[in-house]
Amino acid sequence: MESTLKFNLDDFDDRMAHLRCVKSMDMALTLFDISNLFKVLENEIDVREYAGQPPMTNEEVIEWFRVTIFEVMDNYNINLDELIT
């Protein structure tokens, strides 16, 4: 079986649809990494506890998630402004 997608790259909507198709694997990998952030955070908390550091405040946890999500997006070159215009 084969499938061919055609886009008119002179048309703005088609150009956006093309970009989203081209970036689909990167977006899927980004979502996969983001879905695993709770485990990463648990490890971060364990490391802090082992080092004798105080526990993270709610504000620190929220900021950690915000920063880390944007780092993951940068790692896969996902720019929401570019994909959702």
pLDDT in tens, 58-80: 899 999 999 999 999 999 999 99
pLDDT in tens, 7-51: 999 999 999 999 999 999 999 999 999 999 999 999 888 888 888
User: What own/partner pairs with CB < 8 Å and gap ≥ 24 does 37-41 have?
Assistant: 37/65, 37/68, 37/69, 37/72, 40/68, 41/65
The phi and psi torsions of 9 (rounded to 5 degrees) equal -70, -5
CB atoms within 10 A of CB 34: 15
CA distance 74 to 51: 29
Under 8 Å between Cβ of 19 and 82: yes
